[in-house]
Structure 1
Amino acid sequence: MPQDTVIQQISFESDSEGISAVFFPFPVNANDFGRVILTVNDDEKRGVVRLEADVAPGQRLDPFKSALVSQSPLLLCKGSGPASAASKAPLQARPVLGKPTPLAWTNLASSIGKFQSDSDPNGIDLLTSGPIADAIRSRLGRKMDLLASNLSAISGLQRQGSLYWVTGNAPHQGGVEQAYVLLDANRRAVQIGLWEKGKLTVYAPQGGRLPVPQDIARLLMDSPPEDAVPLPGTAWEVVPVQGRAPMAYVDVAASPNIKSFSLFCEGNRPMMAMLLNKPATVQRVTVTWNFAGRLIDIPTGRANAQSTFWQANLTGSQLIPMLLRQNGSVMLRINGRLEGEALLAGAPLALRTAMRTCVKF
């Protein structure tokens, strides 16, 4: 549908609080309203249509949406009502959309700062055509569509020495559905890091993994690792322990730092143990279990020299009662930072089996 027709078809007003109305004309899905905000009867002036970009720093609109926004404000129809002088200016001819430059080993240096695009002649084509797109496709195969989705919000091409890279994520899915593409111009090698449901898979070149620049190193530190459990996670289970009562155990899914939790009896005390996949640098942390808005904070202390094993006394805590009566999943935090989630399936049976000597059910 022509872009001017789309604008002219939007024509209604509110009966209660003025005549201005706000729309999102290019929604991506039910959770993402898109990158353009459209206001009809802007500033309470009948017939004035304003389009504004809603993009994060470093992101750009595609040429079609950029052309619409650049012509704002617009006049709905001739004679529809008073409008600003700018809105009375005629619409310019549509820009002729070109094609982005296919990314190749020979034009990496001249492409620094440019963005992946399907149609912007000032952008680069990283994923569909050219030598580097072919190299990525040979590594990923059927995962190419997932990579494209996980680079929907993407950085410009960056450089550190002979290394070039982009990072990105699916809309509102950072840490869960995200990716990086790393290029070594000297080796002409490609490495892709692809997070799917909160688990990282690295597609490295045949000659071995590439060294990662600081930007990607920070991303790896802040994101779920390769041995993370993918969402939605696994059900609780009872784990036997030699010489003592068993434990109720659950893996944590899509967490940058937590591997698992174990609940068990130590004498007559209910206890919680947390296993991390990398050392923590503090002496104590607060672990928060978020049951759909009901927060249970557990002060937790370091229990080994490597700072990967942590314990807490659950006497007086509401954690076990909440685990017994809730379903679905529970969101987790350490010192306020998101740390994935755990399924609640199987929790009542596992807890009653493992903790009957120290908890009254």
Structure 2
Amino acid sequence: MWMMTKKWGLALGAAAALALAGCQTTPAGVDPNGQQAWNQLQAQVGQYPQDAAFLQQGVMAARMQHLLGEHRTAFMQNLQVTGPLSKQGSVYYITGNRQHDGGQNAAAVALDAKSNTMRIWWLQDGQPRVVQDPGAAFSWPKDVNQMISNAVGTPAS
């Protein structure tokens, strides 16, 4: 489901809504509840994307592809410079920005193991966007909320 909040003054495009309206289920071939998938992600906490493949394969990568679709390439450019994969409570997350352009292009991904839902936020040319699984109601981790707040001037959760 494609969601842009009115709070940030963005309009929801009908074409984007139709294209992503089918994002109600987990992608084929991915078992996000499988203990092995969560164990692999847990083992990568503290690692950077260039050292571990959690953004290219596994439960986090599959969910990102499912939610972002054709927007994945642009989103990934906003993760050129990142922190490590982190975890707060049951939420795995990573933040980053486009090299030399963090004030205009940044990104965050959060995957809650408890609710098995993902939230994605990115700043594309200064415009904030949010994509999330239906029912994703968990709060952004503190670091993500701070990054979003700094980018848009108000708290995000």
Asked if the contact 2:41/2:59 (under 8 Å) is kept, the reply is no
User: Helix, strand or coil: the match of 2:118?
Assistant: strand
| Count of aligned pairs between the two proteins | 119
Amino acid of the structure 1 residue aligned with 2:114: N
TM-score of the aligned structures, taking structure 1 as reference length: 0.31
2:14 aligned partner? none
Structure 2 residue 141 is the aligned partner of structure 1 residue 190: no
Runs of 4+ in 1 over 3 A off after TM superposition: none
Match 2:44 to one of 111, 116, 134 = 111
Name 1:204's counterpart in structure 2. Answer: 132
Q: Which residue of 1 aligns with 2:141?
A: 213
Structure 2: how far apart are the matches of 1:167 and 1:157? Answer: 8
Query: Under a length normalisation based on structure 2, what TM-score does the superposition of the two structures give?
Result: 0.69
Deviations 1:26-50 (A, max 9, x none): xxxxxxxxxxxxxxxxxxxxxxxxx
CA apart distance, 1:106: 2.5
2:106 to 152, 155, 178: 178
Cα separation, 2, equivalents of 1:197 and 1:130: 29
Contact 2:92/2:113 (8 A) holds in 1: yes
Tell me, yes or no, if the aligned pair for 1:105 and 1:188 is still in contact at 8 Å: no
- By percentage of residues, which structure has more helix? 2
Contact 2:44 / 2:54 at 8 angstroms: preserved in 1? no
- Kindly provide the amino acid, as one letter, of the partner of residue 124 in structure 1: A
Contact 2:118 2:136 in 1 (8 A): no
Say whether residues 1:138 and 2:71 are aligned partners: no
Q: Would the aligned equivalents of 1:150 and 1:177 in 2 still touch at CA under 8 Å?
A: yes
Measure, in 1, the Cα distance between the counterparts of 2:67 and 2:110: 12
Conserved 8 A contact 2:41-2:54:
no
> Which secondary structure does the structure 2 equivalent of 1:107 belong to?
helix
Q: Which ranges in structure 2 are unaligned for 5 or more consecutive residues?
A: 1-35
State the secondary structure of the residue aligned to 2:96. strand
Q: Is the 8 A contact 1:162 1:184 kept in 2?
A: yes
Q: Deviations over 1:156-195 (max 9, x none)?
A: 0111110111000001111210000101011222111011
Q: CA RMSD in A?
A: 1.8
- For 2:80 and 2:53, locate their aligned partners in 1 and report how far apart those are by CA, in whole Å: 13
Whether 1:165 and 2:93 are equivalent positions in the alignment is: yes
SS at match of 2:145: helix
Shift of 1:136: 0.7
Asked whether 1:154 is paired with 2:72, we answer no
Q: Return the alpha-carbon distance in structure 2 between the equivalents of residues 168 and 200 of structure 1.
A: 14
**Shift of residue 127, structure 1, vs aligned partner:** 2.8
Identity of aligned residues (%): 28
Segments of 5+ residues of structure 1 without an aligned counterpart are 1-102, 118-122, 225-255, 258-361
Residues 78 and 97 in structure 2, CA contact (< 8 A), matched pair in contact too: yes
**Which amino acid letter does the alignment assign opposite residue 143 of structure 1?**
H
TM-superposed CA distance for 1:212, in Å, is: 1.0
Deviations 1:296-346 (A, max 9, x none): xxxxxxxxxxxxxxxxxxxxxxxxxxxxxxxxxxxxxxxxxxxxxxxxxxx
The structure showing larger relative contact order (alpha-carbon pairs under 8 Å, at least 6 residues apart) is 2
Could you report, residue by residue, the CA deviation over 1:280-306 in whole angstroms, capped at 9, with x for unpaired residues? xxxxxxxxxxxxxxxxxxxxxxxxxxx
